[in-house]
Each structure stands twice: as C-alpha cells, then as structure tokens.
Amino acid sequence: MTNEPEFLAPNAPDRPERGKAGALLLLGASLVLVAFNLRCAVASVGPVLPDVIRDLGLSAAGASALTTLPSLCFGLFGPLAPALSRRLGAERALMAMLGAMVLGTALRGMGGAPALYSGQILASAGIAAINILLPGLVKRDFPRHAAAMTGLYVAGLCAGAGLAAGATVPLARRFGGSWAAALAFWAVPAALAALAWIPQNFGFSRRREHRRYAVRGLWSDALAWQVTLFMGLQSAFAYIVFGWLAPILRDRGLDPVQAGLIVSISIVAQGAASLFAPSLAVLGRDQRFAAAVSSLLCIGSLLGCVFAPLSSVWIWSIVLGLSEGALFAIALLLIVLRAPDAQVAGHLSSMAQSVGYIIASAGPLLAGLLHGFSGSWHALAWLSLVLGAAMLAAGIGAGRARHVGAVAVPL
C-alpha cells in the first residue's frame, strides 16, 4: 500500500494527434494567452499595496497575509488539479479554473477587505490548478517542441506579470484613484483567455487511457526534496518581489508610477531569461553551476534594489529579473531532468509545486512582518541571506546529474 495518490499516465493523450498545423497554432496561441494571465492577479497588488493599507487600515500582518495568499493557495489547491483533470478532462478542467480566476479577479473590484481577500483566494485557486495542468498539456500536444512551448508560455506568464505591475497604478489614476477598479480590470484579459480556450473543449473525439500508476519512494527521496526546496525557495524570492519591491521603492522615495515601472521591467526581464536559460543550463555535465550563479545573482541584485543608490536601481532590477527568470526556468527543467520517466515526472511536478509554493508563501509573509516589526527594510537583508543560502544549497544538490529514486507501478 502507498499513501501517494493515483495518477493517470501523463504521456497518455486525451485526444489523438492533430494533423493540421493551423489547429496546433491555435492551441499554442491560446496556451500562451492563458499563461499571460497566470500572474496578473498577483503582480497587480504590490504597486497599489500602500494605498490598500491606507484605505483599509490593514495591519502589518494583514498586508503580509495579502501578499502571501497567492503562493499559499498555489500550494494548497494545486494538488487538486490531477483529480479534476481525471474527472472533467484536461481542457474542461482548465476552462473551469479560468472561470474561477475571472470571477476572483473581478470580485476584488467590489472594494473592502472581505471582497479583496476572498477574490484573491478564488483567483489564486484557479491559477494553482492551471499551474499544474499547463505543463501536461504542453507535453501531450507538443511532444517534439515541449522545450520551445515551455519557454513561450513562461515568457507569456512573465509578460502578463510585467504589464500588471507597470499598468495598475496608471489604471487606478484613470479610474479616479480607485485601486479596487484597477485590480478588477485584470479580469478582462482573463475573460479573453477563457473565450479563446472555448474551442479547445469541443470538436475533438477523445480516447482515454484507463491504466493508472502509483509512484512509490518519491516522498522519502532526498533528491526529490532538494528539487522541491529549490522550486519553493526561488519562488519565495519571486513573491517577495511581486508583493514588496514596489512598496520598498516607494519608501525609498520613488514615485508610485516609477516604482511600478521598475517592477514591471524586472518581471519582463524574467521572461527574456526564461527563453534561453534552459538551453544554457543543459550545456554542461549538470546544472549545479547554472543554479549557483543564478542564485547568487538573485540575492545580490535584490539587496542592490533595497540598499544601492537609487540611480542604479534600474540596473539592479534588470539583473534581478534575469536571475529570477533563469531560476524559475531551471527549477522547471530540473523536474524533467531528475525524473526517470514521465509518470515520475508528473508526481515530482505535483510535489515540487504544491510543497514548493507553500514554502514560498513564507517569503512575502516574513518580509512584511519583519518590516512591520523593525520599521525598516534592513531586516530584509538578513532574510534574503538566509533564504538565499538555503536556495543555493538546494540548487547545488538538485543540479546533480542523477535521477530520483522513485518508481512508477501499474495498478
């Protein structure tokens, strides 16, 4: 017996291969459009967070909880995606989660703390499931171009996050100073993505693979935990940036629009790095060097954004974005490289993303609590060094050229 869940073979297609390039092009475009919306609800909060705190009277703990909700929800709700996919099919499960994302994002426009928190939870729950579903769809429908499609959808994800970070403050000003309306605006591109995904739910005959697998030995494997910790800790840095970099820059004296623009540029740089980092990471014998260099650059550039002269913040923010984009792409790559087969890869992906995002939720929470306790951002330096040292160690361990000691057993 095993307490690990059943999992449908991820290499078993839900539908036959498509013969027409046009259908694949449409599918690829809709996947990228979906990915574009996967961080808009997250990245849009940070630039207006000081205004939210002022208008709602949030405490340091309340503000920290708001920035922590996305990554926490990603960890809590992500594991539900495989069961939902088995019940509805991958396409319809993704459609349902797009609906949750649209509703949650729009709910934030009602104003008030209850609507803001509940909307963020609902939107994040939808995103959590899509995070798990998208890689499987890419692997299934683009088996010969999985790396390229992964790079494209990660780049689309970063582009959406960058636009949300840079445009939310101008939108709030355009809406008469309403941060609630600006946050709700991001339901519009999410609704467009849902409309674009509708054709994927119809018109194709389906065949299902009934053979199920259980993966044993994964949760007791040290290498699997190193991959999971690396995923979680690099995500912790990403969510510190999403939630707190704009408030940090505003505290340092930058205009809100400038602060949002810097965060936006940093996130766009993540998308650029995600396109080339996987190819560079596989050039050597293993990925230890790539993980170590990216980790050190991330730690140093975040500290540069907090403490270096304001005139150099633009440079530090770009380096931060490039390093974070590389870390995210390498973390996804390690899930594939460290698994001996597709069945183990599916379970390792679920483990790394569910547990990893719960770990990641500690980053923005601790950053906010430490700032509220100390009244300055100096404590963030110590937090960055502690998290960075753990990330470096996990990356070096996960980067070794070996497989996790887990096996897939037919049921």
In tens, the pLDDT along 120-163 reads: 999 999 999 898 888 777 767 776 776 677 778 788 888 898 89
Cα R_g (the chain), whole angstroms:
20
The per-residue pLDDT for range 338-361, each reduced to its tens digit, is 888 767 777 788 889 889 988 988
Note the pLDDT tens digit of each residue in 299-325.
999 999 999 999 999 999 999 999 999
Position 12 pLDDT exceeds 50: no
Residue 6 has pLDDT above 50, yes or no: no
- Average pLDDT rounded to a whole number, residues 177-203: 91
Contacts of 327 (CB under 8 A, 6+ apart): 234, 237, 238, 291, 294, 295, 298, 391, 395
Q: Is the pLDDT of residue 280 over 70?
A: yes
What percentage of residues in the chain have a pLDDT greater than 70?
Answer: 90
pLDDT of residue 1: 36
| This prediction's pTM | 0.77
Q: Tokens 């630039």, residue?
A: 47
- Average pLDDT on 254-264 reads 88
pLDDT value, residue 196: 92
Q: Tell me the CATH class for 7-410.
A: mainly alpha
Q: Are the CB atoms for 247 and 49 separated by under 8 Å?
A: yes
pLDDT at 241: 86
Query: Above 70 in pLDDT, residue 94?
Result: yes
pLDDT at 211: 56
- The pLDDT, as a whole number, for residue 147 is 65
pLDDT of amino acid 11? 43
Lowest mean pLDDT among 45-59, 129-143, 396-410: 129-143
- Of 26-30, 100-104, 208-212, least confident by mean pLDDT is 208-212
Residue range 165-182: mean pLDDT, rounded: 92
For residue 206, pLDDT beyond 60:
no
126/263: higher pLDDT:
126
